[in-house]
């Protein structure tokens, strides 16, 4: 059978059409069918997630309990709001329902990230947790912006029309969210050193319930100050809550965004990378470092790609060993080095 041919000067591989015929899978001993599209029905997805929940860790079970509690409360609030005709309760119920959807996505990401890499997702599913954390952060930034707009609206309109019946809803919502804060209290910090993608996702969940708690506390404080006759109390409280939520979530938003945009990993100083480039260029058998790229798949997985131009007649195995050793010391385990000879 014909074998794939790798050219030293061309970075492409010519693979005969029958190279994969009945040779088994690439991952483990499982065979990969070309007709398998790796798509699952919605029911299979839900059942698999519940199977993972049964065997999952305590944090996953706590998140599921938190979602169930929030969903039950938002359903009751929506029913009461529709029955009594209070639009404020209906609006808050939709806000909680949307938040439940985001928390469900976080739970789905935790369950799916445990799957092994396959022929479609060759790096695995762990980056889904980074995407989930980014989505939570984006939602909280939008909530911060909407609170700022609400504060501006309260400043323009007459605050005497403030709906004091929302105080009961805010107190109940605060109690529910404080349970979630206690569940994920280990991640209740603004700046957190992420050891893996799971930490990032749990941190986003904690910030989600913490920001919602601050929002409810701000509403309670505003109602109390208004009852005391304090002018512009709602504007002040909403403004403070908006700023607090923004300050809480911005570090997470920047960190997850940098991973999704494949920026250089912050764990590796640029000075260290520059030193490696200088050491490679200083070798007599290396003509040029033509390309170097480094990024993070997830917080604990750094990937690198280096392209070198070496002089004719050079044994590139020595260069490859040297380059891999340099970047291995920086914590870059997944490194691809391409060598091309001078023309």
What is the residue-level pLDDT of the chain in tens, covering all 343 positions? 444 444 444 444 444 444 444 444 434 444 444 444 444 455 665 666 666 666 667 888 889 999 999 999 999 989 988 998 888 788 888 988 998 999 999 999 988 888 888 888 888 899 999 999 999 999 999 999 999 998 888 888 765 555 565 788 888 889 999 998 998 888 877 777 788 888 999 999 999 999 999 999 998 888 888 888 777 888 899 999 999 999 999 999 999 999 999 998 888 888 888 888 889 888 888 888 888 899 999 988 899 999 988 888 888 888 889 999 888 888 888 898 988 888 7
Q: What is the pLDDT of residue 46?
A: 62
Q: What is the pLDDT of residue 42?
A: 58
My answer on whether 216 and 324 are in the same domain is no
Of 188, 222, 238, give the one whose Cα is nearest residue 208: 188
My answer on whether 289 and 244 are in the same domain is no
Q: What is the pLDDT of residue 106?
A: 92
Assigned domain for 11 exists: no
Q: What is the pLDDT of residue 156?
A: 83
My answer on whether 245 and 175 are in the same domain is yes
CATH number at residue 318: 3.30.70.1350
Q: How far, in Å, CA of 256 to CA of 166, rounded?
A: 35
Assigned domain for 120 exists: yes
pTM value?
0.79
Q: What is the pLDDT of residue 47?
A: 65
Assigned domain for 15 exists: no
CATH number at residue 93: 1.20.1510.10
> Range of 295's domain?
270-341
My answer on whether 46 and 91 are in the same domain is yes
Of 322, 298, 252, give the one whose Cα is nearest residue 109: 298
My answer on whether 294 and 207 are in the same domain is no
My answer on whether 250 and 290 are in the same domain is no
My answer on whether 190 and 127 are in the same domain is yes
Total tally of structural domains belonging to the chain: 2
My answer on whether 191 and 238 are in the same domain is yes
Q: How far, in Å, CA of 179 to CA of 183, rounded?
A: 6
Q: How far, in Å, CA of 73 to CA of 293, rounded?
A: 48
Q: How far, in Å, CA of 70 to CA of 68, rounded?
A: 6
């Amino acid at each position: 059978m014909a074998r794939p041919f790798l050219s030293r000067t061309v970075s492409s591989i010519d693979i005969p059409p029958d190279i994969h015929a009945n040779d088994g899978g690439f991952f483990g001993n499982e065979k990969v069918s070309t007709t398998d599209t790796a798509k699952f029905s919605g029911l299979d997805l839900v059942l698999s997630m519940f199977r993972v929940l049964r065997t999952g860790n305590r944090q996953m079970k706590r998140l599921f309990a938190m979602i169930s509690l929030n969903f039950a409360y938002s359903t009751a609030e929506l029913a009461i709001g529709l029955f009594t005709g209070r639009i404020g309760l209906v609006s808050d119920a939709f806000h909680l329902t949307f938040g439940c959807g985001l928390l469900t996505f976080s739970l789905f990401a935790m369950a799916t990230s445990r799957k092994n890499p396959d022929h479609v997702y060759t790096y695995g599913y762990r980056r889904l947790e980074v995407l989930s954390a980014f989505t939570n952060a984006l939602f909280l930034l939008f909530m911060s912006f909407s609170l700022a707009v609400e504060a501006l609206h309260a400043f323009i309109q007459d605050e005497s029309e403030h709906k004091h019946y929302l105080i009961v809803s805010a107190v109940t919502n605060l109690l529910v969210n404080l349970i979630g804060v206690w569940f994920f209290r280990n991640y209740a910090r603004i700046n957190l050193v992420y050891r893996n993608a799971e930490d990032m996702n749990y941190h986003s969940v904690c910030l989600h319930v913490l920001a919602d708690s601050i929002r409810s506390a701000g509403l309670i404080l505003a109602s109390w100050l208004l009852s005391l006759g304090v002018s512009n109390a709602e504007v002040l409280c909403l403004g403070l809550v908006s700023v607090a939520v923004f300050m809480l979530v911005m570090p997470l938003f920047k960190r997850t965004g940098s991973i999704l945009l494949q920026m250089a990993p912050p764990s590796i100083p640029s000075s260290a990378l520059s030193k490696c480039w200088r050491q490679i260029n200083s070798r007599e058998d290396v003509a040029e470092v033509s390309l170097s790229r480094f990024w993070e798949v997830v917080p604990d997985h750094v990937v690198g790609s280096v392209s070198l131009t070496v002089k004719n007649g050079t044994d590139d195995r020595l260069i490859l060993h040297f380059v891999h050793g340099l970047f291995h010391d920086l914590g870059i385990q997944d490194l691809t080095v391409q060598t091309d000879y001078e023309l």
